[in-house]
Amino acid sequence: MVQGIVGVDIGSNMLRAVEVTDAAGSKPSILRYHEVPLPEGAAASGEVLELNTVATALRSLWTTGGFKSKDVVLGMGNQRVLARDLTVPKMSLTQIREALPFQVQDLLLVPVADAILDFYPISEGQGENGPVVNGLLVAAVKQAVLANVRAVELAGLNPVGVDLIPFALNRVHLRGPSARGTVALIDVGSTTTSVIISTNGIPQFVRIIPAGGNEISRALATRLEVNPVQAEQIKRGLGLSTVGVAAEHRVAVETIFESANQLLTSLRNTLSYFVNARQQEGIGRILLSGGGSRLRGFDSALSEVTKLPVSLSAGFGEVPVSKAAAKTEVSIDSMSVALGLALGSKA
């Protein structure tokens, strides 16, 4: 029997999972994928708030999705997660991780005892006192991670790992030829936007911006005094366009532009920071993913403010989907995070 592993993406209103075989091998394959809705308030920005509610939803996800493996990889990627450049003396990865609590307190917003720390090596170099390893410090608030792990355990599943969501997205969207050069992968979700700048597929820089597509919907709901569903429909219908817009939609268009411009400005500033900090590394292009990036005109607006070519990710690329999974009625386009989490597993 083929042994798989399941990546689980805990959203604010949806649970998504992808089961993959040969996840860490040369020929991974998607066995099955599925999603189920989450009751309002059960989770927010990827963090479990109501353990029993999410555990019940996970059991439903396994039953309706037909998942066989109980080994699960979870992701973290909200404002309670930090990823920063860090250079340390050259030593084994185990030794580097053991030394992190004594080196990084000044970089953290919480005490070291309240954080889960990891180090992602990128390159080696020569420092003033000898060989060094350049990489990314990844720190997450322990309480948030443990809440997600407990929900999975309550559902009778086996959590085998917790990964950074931007790394998961990088594995999915920057594979093969699409990974060449220095690329800024920007994933616009509902409540967060992840920026991952990679060179030849290797992440060099990660930032998580606590804003996404829901910011525009909320602004519309408030300004126009409509409910959230109507606001979402208006947003999708109008997008970032002034061509052929009727006079009665003027206020809605202004609201969309005002809200979107805040995110666009944050993205431009983030990319500028990277380029200014590493003057030898220019960004060749931007690759967009996530539901929020599908807002009509967003790609053109981002290209205009950054002066870089922008394209939309084609999705899963080289990862084949089994014939059984291909018959699933659920859209595969929203499964990138779950797939990337599964692909990062060493199980």
CB of 73 within 8 A of CB of 5? yes
Whether the predicted pLDDT of 26 surpasses 80: no
Determine, yes or no, domain membership for 205. Answer: no
Residue-level pLDDT at 15 = 95
Distance CA 105, CA 84 (A): 12
DSSP letter (8 states) at residue 80: T
> Are 283 and 334 part of one and the same domain?
no
Q: Which of 92, 124, 142 is the last residue of a domain?
A: 142
Distance CA 347, CA 335 (A): 20
Which tokens sit at 288? 């967009």
Whether the predicted pLDDT of 347 surpasses 50: no
Whether the predicted pLDDT of 318 surpasses 90: no
Whether the predicted pLDDT of 302 surpasses 60: yes
What CATH number is given to the structural domain containing 107? 3.30.1490
Residue-level pLDDT at 280 = 66
Determine, yes or no, domain membership for 296. Answer: yes
Element containing residue 218 per DSSP (H, E): helix 213-224
At a CB cut-off of 8 Å and minimum separation 6, what does 39 contact? Answer: 50, 53, 57
Determine, yes or no, domain membership for 257. Answer: yes
Q: Which band of pLDDT confidence, cut at 50, 70 and 90, is reported for residue 1?
A: very low
Residue 181 vs residue 177, higher pLDDT: 181
For residue 30, give its domain range: 5-78+145-176+319-344
Domain count across the chain: 3
Whether the predicted pLDDT of 246 surpasses 70: yes
**Which tens digit of pLDDT belongs to each residue from 71-107?**
999 999 887 888 889 999 999 999 999 999 998 888 8
Residue-level pLDDT at 346 = 58
> Are 234 and 337 part of one and the same domain?
no
Whether the predicted pLDDT of 241 surpasses 90: no
Residue-level pLDDT at 2 = 56
> Are 171 and 307 part of one and the same domain?
no
Q: β-strands 158-164, 71-76: how paired?
A: parallel
> Are 56 and 151 part of one and the same domain?
yes
**Which tens digit of pLDDT belongs to each residue from 254-290?**
999 999 999 999 999 999 999 998 766 789 999 999 8
**Which tens digit of pLDDT belongs to each residue from 143-154?**
989 999 999 999
What CATH number is given to the structural domain containing 16? 3.30.420.40
Q: What percent of the chain has pLDDT over 70?
A: 97
Q: Which band of pLDDT confidence, cut at 50, 70 and 90, is reported for residue 108?
A: confident
Helix (H, G, I), strand (E, B) or coil at 188: strand
Average pLDDT over residues 199-213: 91
Q: Which band of pLDDT confidence, cut at 50, 70 and 90, is reported for residue 181?
A: very high
Residue written as token pair 């411009």: 261
Average pLDDT over residues 125-137: 91
Distance CA 87, CA 198 (A): 18
Residue-level pLDDT at 175 = 80
**pTM for the predicted model, two decimal places:** 0.89
Helix (H, G, I), strand (E, B) or coil at 278: coil
Distance CA 150, CA 50 (A): 11
CA atoms within 13 A on the CB side of 335: 28
Determine, yes or no, domain membership for 190. Answer: no
Whether the predicted pLDDT of 326 surpasses 80: no
Instruction: Please choose, from the candidates 72, 44, 45, the residue with its C-alpha nearest in 3D space to the C-alpha of residue 58.
Output: 72
> Are 23 and 171 part of one and the same domain?
yes
> Are 74 and 166 part of one and the same domain?
yes
Distance CA 316, CA 205 (A): 22
Whether the predicted pLDDT of 64 surpasses 80: yes
